[in-house]
Structure 1
Amino acid sequence: MHIAIDLDNTVLDATTAHITYYNKASGMALTAADIQDFYIYRSYGWNKEERDLVYAKHGRDIHWHSAPYPNAADSLRQLSLQHELSIITARPMLFRDVTIDWLNHHKFTYTHISFAENKLEACIAAKVDVLIDDAPHYAEEFARMRKPIILYDQPYNRAVTSEFVLRAANWVEVTGHIQHLATGLK
């Protein structure tokens, strides 16, 4: 099976790192509990252009200092023994090097990496069987296409429901969903 995996808030805690640097830039003191929107910058009252300025200045540090979720690297190592794994991230190419360095530093296993704003298109082109992601809009797109998505549970994606959306609160649950899907594809 070909599995596509998102990075931010799927294999790693991007929210905490973003908050650290967004608080520094804004003078605010938000916590993860304050974030209820996929687009974290909205919690700071910023528009996209304001966010882009902060992200350009702090993005490398944000991505380097993001902590991996428990069992994510081990789960992907195990899954790589039986499946093809592609990292598909919407991060800008500007952060390609820090992303690859971070993955290597934390010993993540994958076959391919792609930086793509349109994940559905990237997954179709790569003939992906299932996507693991946290983004509500990607989950909705995949469900409309009748493609399975494992939605890594976050406060901002809890309203998304579909028979094609499989929720996971941790990497043990992700692995269980993959095993179930792989059995159904045989």
Structure 2
Amino acid sequence: MHIGIDLDNTILDATAAHLHFYNLASGRAFTPADVNDFYLYRMYGWNKAEREAVVARYGHDIHWNSIPYPLAAENIRELYGKHRISVITARPLQYKDVSVNWLERYEVPYHEIYFVEDKLGTCTEAEVDVLIDDGPHYAEAFARARRPVILIDQPYNGGIEREHIYRARDWQEVRQHLTDLERRLQTAD
């Protein structure tokens, strides 16, 4: 099976790192409990240009200081031995080095890494069987295309319920969904 895995808020907790540095830049004190939007900068009242200025200053630190979710790295290491793993992130290409170094630091193996906004197109072209992601818009796109996506529960994606979307609260549930999907793929062949 070819498994696509998002980086931010899927393998690692990007929210805490973003909030830390966004709070530093703004003087605000938002916590993860305040988050209800995929685009965190909107909580701060910033437009895209203001967000870009903050990210230009703190982007490397945000990406380097993110912490892996419990059991994410361990599960991906196990999956890597049996499946093809592609990291598929919408991070800008300018963060390729820090992203690759972060994955090495936490011993997260992969076969390919893609820095793309069009995850559905990339997964289709690369013949990815399932995507693991947190983004509600990615999950909706995959569901419309009748492709399976495991959606990591986040405050901003709670209303997403459709066929082909498999919700997971943690990496144990991700593994269970992958086992079930693998069985379905094998019986379909």
**TM-score using structure 2 length:** 0.97
Identity of aligned residues (%): 55
Correspondence list, 1:156-171, <5 A: 156-171=156-171
CA distance in 1, matches of 2:164, 2:70: 25
The one-letter amino acid of 1:59's match is G
CA distance in 1, matches of 2:160, 2:55: 28
CA distance in 1, matches of 2:119, 2:48: 20
1:149 aligns with 2:149: yes
Residue of structure 2 in register with 1:60 after alignment: 60
Residue of structure 1 in register with 2:94 after alignment: 94
CA distance in 2, matches of 1:93, 1:76: 23
The Cα offsets for residues 61-119 of structure 1, whole Å up to 9 and x where unpaired, read as 00000000000011001111211000000000110000000000000011100100111
The one-letter amino acid of 1:23's match is N
1:43 aligns with 2:43: yes
Residue of structure 2 in register with 1:123 after alignment: 123
Structure 1 counterpart SS, 2:20: helix
CA distance in 1, matches of 2:117, 2:143: 18
Number of positions where the alignment pairs a residue of Structure 1 with one of Structure 2: 186
CA distance in 1, matches of 2:39, 2:160: 16
The Cα offsets for residues 102-157 of structure 1, whole Å up to 9 and x where unpaired, read as 00000001110010011111111111110000000000000000000000000100
The one-letter amino acid of 1:129's match is D
The one-letter amino acid of 2:133's match is D
Residue of structure 2 in register with 1:70 after alignment: 70
The one-letter amino acid of 1:167's match is R
Structure 2 counterpart SS, 1:131: strand
The one-letter amino acid of 1:70's match is P
The Cα offsets for residues 150-179 of structure 1, whole Å up to 9 and x where unpaired, read as 000001001111121000000010011001
Gaps of 5+ in 1: none
Structure 1 counterpart SS, 2:150: strand
CA distance in 2, matches of 1:176, 1:170: 10
Residue of structure 2 in register with 1:17 after alignment: 17
Structure 1 counterpart SS, 2:10: coil
Q: CA deviation at 1:54?
A: 0.4
Structure 2 counterpart SS, 1:113: strand
Gaps of 5+ in 2: none
The one-letter amino acid of 2:54's match is V
Deviating runs (4+, > 3 A) in structure 1? none
Structure 2 counterpart SS, 1:76: helix
